[in-house]
Structure 1
Amino acid sequence: MNKEIERKYAVKNLPKGLKVEKIIRIKQAFLYRDKLTIVRIRDIRQIYPEVNQEYVYTLKFKGDIEYNNNYDIGKKYEIENAISKEYFEKLIEKPISKIIEKTRIVIPIQNNLKVELDVYYHYLDGLLTAEIEFPDEETAKNFQKPEWLGEELGYKKLSNRKLSEMTEDEWKSEVTKEFIENNQMIIHNLKKNYDI
């Protein structure tokens, strides 16, 4: 069982000399949720640097969630298991909310941390977020974000679970017009340089 500690940010711009560790296409659906538990499945296709595909069943349990003015950290415990393609295809027929599709670009940053830049598709087109997972709470609390990351989005506000329940108008009402326009410009540049 892994403890998941993460923070989510807007993206102001792309850094010069962007180094990409890997690019992954993700299709995911939620099968169950209550106040403490989430069950999710994912089709994960790594497309760079090498091609790889896996299907994963994830059970997440809520830990405590701490908030203050300086940070917003979501803490959960998760158990992941590989499943077959056939089982995935059977399960994805019965999601409890919308299916999310996105491309994840993994970018190494300071202190062996990685930014997971998520470019969303379909009804979430125009949404771009950056998430960082931390090895422990202390590292998360003391994290100094790179200049190219923008405001902290808050862990719950635009979580994948929340997004799967929203319409296009609903998620857009959670952000500013400038946020969306900036995202579209960054996504356009990413598409010019990478196969996403």
Structure 2
Amino acid sequence: MGIEIERKFTVKQLPKDLERYPYHVIEQGYLNVHPAVRVRREDNIYYMTYKESSMENEDPSQDGQSRLIGKVEYNMPLDKESYDHLVLKADGNMIRKKRYLIPLNSDGFDEAFFAGDPGIKKAVEEGKIKIELDIFDAPFEGTILAEVEFPSEEAARAYKPAKWFFEDVTGDVKYSNSHMSSVKL
């Protein structure tokens, strides 16, 4: 179990040399949306996830800074047979995407923040905090979103988005995978 603290962004342009970054091929289906219960195949790893929103959206006018969403998240490993059985029970749209793992932009935090939290500085320098760039396949082909998971709300609030990000859509339900799974196409 853990708390997921993340910010999500639309993308105005893809990073150069995208294929040089490692990636995962992901397929997931939702058995339930509220709370979110999904089954996922990430490459050749299978699991079921339960996500429950643990914080309400605050003021949506604050450009994402106070709309951070923390979610309690439980992951349970599955084998391929269990995944294949459960994914047939998924409602709505299947989500398929390629997730690139890109090092966090080096200008994501100012030196004053690093001085107050040297652990974050070390994590950034060692490449332990990543931008997860999701490029969706059909039926959401053309959708591109970037997410960054942070070790704390303070880090999430202090983060300065990469130049290739466009809009901060943190907390906007229409960009959540669980919502996309239930959209009528």
Coarse TM-score class (shorter-chain normalised): 0.7 to 0.9
- For each residue in 1:45-73, what CA deviation from the matched residue of structure 2 results, as whole angstroms up to 9, or x when unmatched? 0xxxxxxx110111112100343414231
Query: What is the total number of aligned residue pairs between the two structures?
Result: 159
What is the aligned partner in structure 1 of residue 6 from structure 2? 6
Give structure 1 stretches of 5+ with no counterpart. 46-52, 169-196
1:44 match: 42
Q: How far 1:76 sits from its partner (Å)?
A: 0.2
1:82 pairs with 2:77:
yes
Give the corresponding residue for 1:30: 30
Identity, % of aligned pairs? 32
Q: What is the CA–CA distance in structure 1 between the aligned matches of 2:14 and 2:145, rounded to whole Å?
A: 12
Which residue pairs with 2:153 in the alignment? 137
Q: Distance in 2 between matches of 1:60 and 1:100?
A: 16
Closer, same or farther: CA 90–13 of 1 in aligned 2, 3 Å? same
Q: Structure 2 stretches of 5 or more lacking a match?
A: 107-123
Among 43, 56, 76, which residue is 1:65 paired with?
56
User: How far apart are 1:96 and its partner, in Å?
Assistant: 2.1
Aligned residue runs from structure 1 range 112-123, under 5 A = 112-123=128-139
TM norm structure 2: 0.79
Partner Cα distance (2:165, 2:76) in 1: 32
Shift of 1:27: 0.5
- Give the equivalent residue in structure 2 for 1:172: none
- 4+ residue runs over 6 A deviation: none
Does the 8 A contact of 1:5 with 1:76 survive in 2?
yes
Instruction: Name the SS for the 2:145 alignment partner.
Output: strand
Mapped contact 2:33–2:179 kept (Cα < 8 A) = no
Q: Secondary structure at the match of 1:124?
A: coil
